[in-house]
Every structure is written in C-alpha cells, then in structure tokens.
C-alpha cells in the first residue's frame, strides 16, 4: 500500500517518460542498493519483461554496501547476482580521471555479462541531479550507451526520494554512498591498508550512530571526519570524542580531525571525489 506522500501529475509524467524506452525489454540493473538503483528496480518491475540486479564488487567496495544491496534485493524480490571484478593496476595510482576509467571498466564488464546472459540492455540509477558537479564517471556511461531512465525522465534526486517514500521503499532516506577509493585524494596512491582502515573507521562511527552522512577522508597520517553538521554536537561530547580518537589512532592515524564544513559530496578543487 502506498504512503500518503503525494506525487503530482508532473512527476507521474516524468516516471512514465523514464520507463517508455524500457517497456517489454529484459534489463540488467547496476544495483548498489542505494536510493537511485532501488527506485529504478521498483519502477522497471511494472514495465520490463525480465530484470536481473547485478552488484559489482571489487577491492574498493565495502562489505557494508554489499550486505545492504543483498538485503534490498531480497526485499524487492528481484533476482540478484554478484559480479566480482579486480581493479586494474593503473587505477591504484589514483589519477584525476580515475572515476572515468573505473566506470568504463566496470560497465564494459556489465555489457559483456548482459550479452552473455541474453538480456537487452544495461540500466543504471543516474538521475538528473547527478549531472551537476564533478562527475567524471558519467562520461563513461554515455560513451558506452548505458541507459539511465531517471536521467532520461529528468527526475531529480529529491524526486527519486519522493518516489521511494510514496512506494514505502525502505531506502527512501538512505544516505548517498561511494566506493572506498573516493576517500583518498586524487594523486595519493590507493592501498588495501588505507581502504581497510577507512572501512573499519566508518563502521565504528556508524555503530556510534553517525549514519546520516559519513566519510572518513584519508590523508596518510591524518584522518578528516566528514559528517552532517547536525551531528557535530553529539560527536563533540567528551566520551564520544575519546572513543573515536582511540579507535582511529588504533587504525594508524596520528591526527584525528573534524571537518567544520561537514559532509559534502564532492570537492573537485581539492581533487577529491564523493
């Protein structure tokens, strides 16, 4: 049963327009378990012949994200597979165009998988808000001809959440996620050690209740905590500070800092990603 969240006729038309090209097709959806890909999966159930959710995993994807994707796919009752890839060697050097080459590599694999399994097209969750800001990966999606129905329908991130709430999807308020490599500034070499300590540190902070928006930015001996500014007061309680500092020191950071600007999805001028 739908909730009382209202959808006006303009949004309904956008949804219709976003699904027109998918009607009757068999689709593979690049599925992270986030708001966008979950809404795409929900909407395609009404128009597509066959749907398969594929979560691509690599050394750069946290166990938390994989578990979330599996749980949401079970909720949706749509078939779900895991596609394991190994990140190419040169991308560990973390060049400024890393996201472009990473997306190109991953979605090329998805297209191969799509062809092997006899599906028609590969679909992703890019929405109309994603074209704003530093998003080099979008160039790769366009180059490969990946279908982005939310973008095609001009559906914004706010409207995606509205659709999710209207349909009682459990991810309506889920924070945006990004691969672990995005915690390392461009130009700084990515290592498994860095990714592991970021993952462990973020898991610890989520367990303390900081799950609204969270990033640990790794600057070698310094870790910079980005959280929603609404959570500053809670984090700055003495006992909480002590727990966080102790944990992050144990992971190898010499200096623990809080970014006073709070979480922000991308900072291209500082050569960082989301």
pLDDT tens figures, 220-267:
999 999 999 999 999 999 999 999 999 999 999 999 999 999 998 654
Question: What whole-number distance in Å separates Cα of residue 267 and Cα of residue 274?
Answer: 8
pLDDT band at 270 (very low <50, low <70, confident <90, very high): very low
pLDDT band at 211 (very low <50, low <70, confident <90, very high): confident
Mean pLDDT of the 159-170 span: 95
Three-state secondary structure of the chain: CCCCCCCCHHHHHHHHHHHHHHCCCEEEEECCCCHHHHHHHHHHCCCCCEEEEEEEECCCCCHHHHHHHHHHHHHHCCCEEEEECCCCHHHHHCCCCHHHHHHHHHHHHHHHHHHHHCCCEEECCCCHHHHCCCCCHHHHHHHHCCECHHHHCCCCHHHHHHHHHHCCCCCCCCCCCCCHHHHCCCCCCCCHHHHHHHHHHHHHHHHCCCCCCEEEEEECCEEEEEECHHHHHHHCCHHHHHHHHHHHHHCCCCEEEECCCCCCCCCHHHCCCC
Of the candidates 106, 101, 108, 99, the one whose C-alpha atom is nearest the C-alpha of residue 130 is 99
Residues 6+ apart with CB under 8 A from 204: 244, 247
pLDDT band at 6 (very low <50, low <70, confident <90, very high): low
Report CA 147 to chain centroid distance, whole Å.
17
The confidence score (pLDDT) of residue 63 equals 93
Q: Is the pLDDT of residue 166 over 60?
A: yes
Mean pLDDT of the 155-178 span: 93
Contact 63, 33 (CB under 8 A): no
The confidence score (pLDDT) of residue 260 equals 96
Q: Is the pLDDT of residue 268 over 50?
A: no
Q: Which domains does the chain have, with CATH numbers?
A: 9-166 (3.40.50.620), 180-270 (3.30.70)
Q: Is the pLDDT of residue 114 over 80?
A: yes
Q: Across the chain, what does the average pLDDT equal?
A: 92
Among 2-6, 68-72, 99-103, 207-211, the minimum mean pLDDT is found in 2-6
pLDDT digits (tens, 9 = 90+) for 69-90: 999 999 999 999 999 999 999 9
């Amino acid at each position: 049963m739908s909730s009382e969240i209202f959808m006006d006729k303009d949004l309904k038309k956008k949804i219709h327009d976003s699904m027109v090209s998918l009607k009757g097709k068999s689709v593979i959806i690049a599925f992270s378990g986030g708001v966008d890909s979950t809404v795409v999966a929900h909407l395609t159930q009404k128009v597509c012949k066959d749907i398969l959710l594929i979560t691509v995993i690599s050394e750069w994807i946290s166990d938390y994200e994989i578990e979330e994707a599996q749980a949401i796919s079970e909720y949706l009752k749509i078939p779900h597979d895991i596609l394991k890839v190994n990140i190419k060697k040169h991308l560990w050097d973390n060049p400024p165009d890393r996201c472009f080459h990473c997306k190109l590599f991953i979605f090329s694999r998805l297209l191969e998988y799509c062809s092997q399994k006899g599906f028609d097209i590969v679909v992703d969750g890019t929405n109309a808000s994603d074209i704003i800001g530093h998003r080099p990966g979008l160039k790769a999606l366009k180059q490969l001809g990946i279908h982005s129905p939310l973008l095609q329908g001009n559906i914004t991130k706010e409207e995606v959440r509205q659709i999710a709430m209207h349909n009682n999807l459990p991810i309506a308020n889920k924070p945006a996620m990004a691969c672990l490599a995005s915690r390392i500034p461009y130009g700084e070499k990515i290592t498994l050690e860095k990714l592991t300590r970021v993952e462990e540190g973020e898991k610890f902070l989520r367990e303390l209740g900081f799950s609204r928006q969270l990033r640990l930015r790794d600057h070698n001996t310094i870790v910079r905590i980005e959280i929603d500014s609404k959570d500053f007061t809670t984090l700055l309680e003495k006992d909480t500070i002590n727990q966080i500092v102790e944990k992050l020191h144990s992971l190898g950071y010499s200096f623990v800092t809080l970014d006073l600007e709070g979480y922000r999805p991308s900072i291209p001028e500082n050569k960082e990603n989301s």
